Amino acid sequence: MIIKTIKVKKLGIIIAACVVSALFIFLVVYGVAKAYSDDCITLDTEELRQEFIKDLGWETDSEYTSSKVVKIPVEFDDVYEDYNEIQEQQGFNLEKYKGKEVEIYTYLVKNYPNDKENVYLSLIIFEGRLIGGDVSCNELDGFMQGLKKAD
């Protein structure tokens, strides 16, 4: 009978522990980064959308004003480029969704400052996740801004 023994040196154990620790740290950092990415805000129910809107500080009706499915163009024109700049300022990017069908839920905002009327909040949803949105006014002197309410 032949018996072989392997001697592991301290340096080998230290290197193995460092590799395992580095892998663990990478997985934790990746998980945290993924949790805070725009793809992780799940708004696949009206209840979740209402909670999200309320957390932003907006007051709306208890149900959306309109809902529609649109296809994000494969090629952005100037209007889409400008709109995507607003999205990028909030941490979103519609470039990743070119050619995809998305749902847009629109809500009438009841508490816009200075009693401004005809202000709407739109949420852009892809596969149940928030990928963009805006608050806008469709009047002659209208505007468009990101989702967060200005303090």
Q: Which two tokens stand for residue 59?
A: 């007051």
Q: What is the pLDDT of residues 1-46, one digit of tens each?
A: 777 777 767 665 666 554 555 555 545 444 444 444 445 799 999 9
Q: What is the CA radius of gyration of the chain?
A: 24
Tens of pLDDT, residues 45-104: 999 999 999 999 999 999 999 999 999 999 999 999 999 999 999 999 999 999 999 999
Residue 63, CA atoms < 13 Å, CB-side half-sphere: 2
